[in-house]
Structure 1
Amino acid sequence: MNVIIVDDQGQMRTLVQRILEGFGITGIRCTASPVEALALARSGRFQLVISDYTMPEMDGLELLARIRKDPATNNPHVIMLTGSGERSIVEKAVSLGVSDYVVKPFRAADLRAKIQRLFGDLS
């Protein structure tokens, strides 16, 4: 599985990458830039995007909307990973086609369960 992690905080990118590697996922690209993440997604090689909500350049909802509108992305699953559990943001993400939503702080087991719901067993 190929995954894009996009978060403007380096520590969060590193944490999520280590968690995914612990699940046996090795095809991981990390970026602080939603613009770069969109360019990577347009390659069509990624099955999953894990995106923060609050970022400069564009927020996670705009990134999600652009991924969903662009056929070159091959419609990857998108998990929104954010510190905001605000109902209006969650509803907007759902209306834009988010695959799942994880509120920070989170446990590795929570992220694993969300990914397994989308892709099946990771073992």
Structure 2
Amino acid sequence: MSLNEIATLDVFLVEPSHTQRIIITQHLQAAGIEAVTCVSTGGEMLKYLKQAKPDLIISSMYLPDMTGVDLIHEIRKDSESYDTAFILISSETNIKYLEPIRQAGAIAILPKPFSLQELDTALRASLDYLNPAKIDLAHFDVEDLHVLLVDDSEFSRKYIRRVLNNIGIEYIRCARDGKEALQLFQAHYFDLIVTDYNMPEMDGLQLVKAIRGDCQHISSVPILMVTSEQNQNRLAAIEKVGVSAILDKPFEPTAIKRLIVQLLS
């Protein structure tokens, strides 16, 4: 993607600090963004969304009237602005506060301070999300692929479904937890399973175990786990039971395309 493509992004920055607004705007301009609209509160941003639809919203975590979590949830609840790309910039490291951002389909979570390389990667991921290209599989017609998507977060399901639709996958069945997913797996044929890890009823680890141990069905189906889980012992346990690949939340759309090509080619 060229600098010219990045320059076409219509960006809104939600940042209460005047100093931070200047710093982030300068970084955006250095990355190629020609114009940045700045607001100080989440309420101002939501008001703007009733009049116009930006390509990308970049927000701080802590705003005068709400948090970045509240803001992205309000954006995702609105059908008109649902598909807007969202990046969080925050010094927050507590998983309790970052997890809802990941689950709501943020393109990226950047630290304060962030590097130009980190910003460039996030901007390119936003472009790929907004202007997707279908994947090309050697032995499959991507439009005929049947995918089972498993995630207990409605926001996350919608976001991942949008990404899968963007790359040409049309047949997607969704499940809210591992138990529901296992029932669908046993009743239907799937070329690929995309699942979260932390879920009620039956988590991703238990789901992978059940699928790999099912002798009556095709247990070799590729399983891609998309998760924000950071515990290395848990991740190692997932790999041992036969997951095909693990992708972190938030993920770049190009990353899931690359993994699907690897898994199905």
TM-score, structure 1 as length reference = 0.92
5 Å matches for 1:25-44?
A: 25-44=169-188
Task: Report if the CA contact (8 A) 1:42-1:74 is conserved.
Answer: no
Cα distance in 1 for residues equivalent to 2:260 and 2:216: 22
Q: What is aligned with 2:226?
A: 81
* Deviation beyond 2 Å, 4+ runs, structure 1: none
How far did 1:73 drift? 3.4
Length, aligned pairs only: 120
Which of residues 63, 67, 91 is equivalent to 2:211?
67
Q: Secondary structure at the match of 1:73?
A: coil
What residue identity is the alignment partner of 1:119?
Answer: L
Q: Is the 8 A contact 2:177 2:203 kept in 1?
A: no
Task: Describe the SS at the equivalent of 1:101.
Answer: strand
Give the equivalent residue in structure 2 for 1:45: 189
Show the counterpart of 2:250.
105
Instruction: Output the CA distance in 2 between the equivalents of 1:79 and 1:13.
Output: 14
Paired residue type of 2:218: N
Task: Determine whether 1:9 maps to 2:9.
Answer: no
Q: Secondary structure at the match of 2:202?
A: coil
Query: 1:78 is aligned with what amino acid?
Result: I
Amino acid at match of 1:70: D
Shift of the 72–17 alpha-carbon distance from structure 1 to 2, 3 Å rule, reads farther
Q: Is 2:239 the counterpart of 1:94?
A: yes
1:25 counterpart letter in structure 2: I
Question: Once the two structures are aligned, what percentage of the paired residues are identical?
Answer: 34
1:22 to 145, 166, 171: 166
The CA RMSD measured in Å over matched residues stands at 1.2
Contact in 1 for aligned 2:196/2:226 (Cα 8 Å): yes
SS of equivalent residue, structure 1 residue 4:
strand
Q: Deviations over 1:63-96 (max 9, x none)?
A: 0000100123312111111101322122111110
Unaligned runs of 5+ in 2: 1-144
CA shift digits 1:39-83 (9 cap, x unpaired)? 111135101111110000011000000010012331211111110
Residues 43 and 72 in structure 1, CA contact (< 8 A), matched pair in contact too: no
Amino acid at match of 1:92: A
> Letter of the aligned partner of 1:95 in structure 2?
K
Contact 1:44–1:72 at 8 Å: present in 2 too? no
- Which one is further off, 63-72 or 36-45? 36-45
Q: Point out which structure has higher relative CO (alpha carbons under 8 A, 6+ apart).
A: 1
The SS at the match of 2:225 is: strand
Cα distance between partner residues in 2 of 1:5 and 1:72: 21
